[in-house]
């Protein structure tokens, strides 16, 4: 069990990463999208005053939150105005259409298709296991299960910002701590090993790690100055000297929360924004460590302690 704990923790911390539900209406998504890049009114009112760095965590691109699970992110992507393509992939070149995903069951069926069709798996979950794309963990009851620990990507396009088309990508990395803290957020693909003919359950306990916006549109020649001003007005409160926006051509980076929460701006062609955060992933990794430690302590409870022999 100790070896399993070490392997899983390493995977968690080192792994690179419709019809929409009624609660995520298109109008609400449209409003959130508009507010995301609107200048902060308080910043404008404090022109000429000394600004202090903000202490609150940096939020990803609206309408997303760092604690969104994969299914909720799919719904939010589908609710974005103007989007006509939403896909799921694993970086291997395999992409699955999730444009009309409605339910957890629907998405789990699609994940079964992913296991069959991914260029990594070559049609067999045993290949994913051999490539170290999966890992083992102990669930809330202490049972050993498989989970997909590599990155899964959700992409949507076009997302229009200041008249410019962007592609938006949300990256999730597997984290067994999510399965312990929020088992209802775990997706499961039930598949059969081609080699052993054994039924296997592969859990997808993805935690949001990155939100990327990227565009290589020729329209940027005209719209980039206005996008730059929007970013400066909104994020200057995190960096009073706003050096990052004046150095964005060299990959300016804004960070809060002890470098666990970042916004990186790069360009000019392609031009991109990358929001990233490790805070939730680290918290859930610690939650999983505590869970395994508790299981071990229960295993040895009641057995004779030899401390007097020291």
Query: How many Å is the Cα radius of gyration of the chain?
Result: 22
The answer to the question of residue 100 being in a domain is: yes
- Residues 6+ positions from 80 with CB-CB distance below 8 Å: 29, 33, 63, 156, 159, 168
**80 lies in a domain?**
yes
CB 290 within 8 A of CB 223: no
3-state DSSP assignment of residue 150: coil
pLDDT computed for residue 91 by the predictor: 85
pLDDT at 272 over 70: yes
DSSP-assigned beta bridge partners for residue 271: 215
Task: Report pLDDT digits (tens) over 217-245.
Answer: 999 989 988 888 887 777 766 655 544 44
C-alpha dihedral sign at 118, 122, 126, 132: negative
> Residue 303 is encoded by which pair of tokens?
């057995």
**pLDDT tens string 30-80:** 444 444 444 444 433 333 334 344 445 678 888 999 999 999 999 999 999
User: Is position 128 within any domain?
Assistant: yes
In a domain, 192, yes or no: yes
Residue 89 included in any domain: yes
The pLDDT mean for the chain works out to: 78
303 falls within a domain: no
The reported pTM is 0.76
Query: Which residue, among 222, 237, 215, has the nearest Cα to 52 in the 3D structure?
Result: 237
Interaxial angle between packed helices 70-79 and 26-36, expressed in degrees from 0 to 180 and rounded to the nearest 10: 90
Range of the domain at 242: 2-295
* 136, part of any domain: yes
How many domains, the chain? 1
Give the confidence band of 81 by pLDDT, cuts at 50, 70, 90.
Answer: very high
In whole angstroms, what is the distance from residue 71 CA to residue 77 CA? 10
Task: Give the DSSP letter of residue 249.
Answer: G
Cα–Cα–Cα angle for 33, 35, 38, rounded to 5 degrees? 120
Cα-Cα end-to-end distance for the chain: 25
Of 42-51, 144-153, 224-233, 296-305, the one with minimum mean pLDDT is 42-51
Query: Residue 305: inside a domain, yes or no?
Result: no
């Amino acid at each position: 069990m100790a070896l399993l704990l070490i392997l899983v923790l390493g995977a968690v911390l080192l792994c690179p990463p419709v019809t929409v539900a009624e609660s995520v209406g298109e109008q609400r998504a449209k409003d959130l999208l508009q507010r995301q890049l609107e200048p902060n009114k308080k910043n404008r009112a404090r022109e000429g005053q000394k600004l202090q760095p903000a202490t609150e965590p940096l939020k990803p691109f609206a309408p997303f939150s760092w604690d969104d699970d994969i299914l909720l992110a799919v719904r939010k992507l589908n609710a974005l105005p103007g989007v006509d393509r939403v896909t799921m992939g694993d970086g291997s070149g395999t992409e699955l259409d999730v444009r009309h995903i409605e339910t957890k069951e629907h998405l789990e069926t699609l994940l079964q298709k992913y296991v069959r069709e991914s260029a990594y798996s070559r049609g067999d979950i045993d290949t994913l296991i051999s490539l170290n794309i999966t890992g083992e963990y102990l669930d809330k009851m202490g049972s050993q299960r498989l989970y997909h620990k590599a990155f899964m990507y959700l992409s949507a396009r076009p997302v229009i910002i200041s008249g410019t088309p962007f592609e938006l990508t949300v990256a999730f990395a597997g984290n067994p701590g999510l399965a312990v803290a929020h088992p209802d957020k775990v997706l499961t693909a039930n598949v059969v090993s081609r080699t052993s003919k054994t039924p296997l359950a592969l859990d997808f306990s993805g935690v949001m790690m990155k939100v990327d916006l990227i565009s290589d549109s020729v329209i940027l020649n005209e719209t980039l100055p206005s996008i730059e001003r929007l970013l400066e007005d909104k994020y200057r409160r995190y960096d009073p000297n706003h050096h990052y926006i004046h150095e964005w051509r060299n990959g300016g980076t804004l960070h809060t929360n002890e470098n666990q929460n970042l916004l990186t701006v790069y360009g000019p062609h392609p031009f991109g924004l990358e929001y990233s955060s490790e805070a939730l992933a680290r918290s859930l990794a610690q939650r999983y460590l505590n869970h395994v430690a508790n299981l071990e302590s229960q295993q040895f409870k009641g057995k004779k302690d030899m401390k007097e022999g020291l």
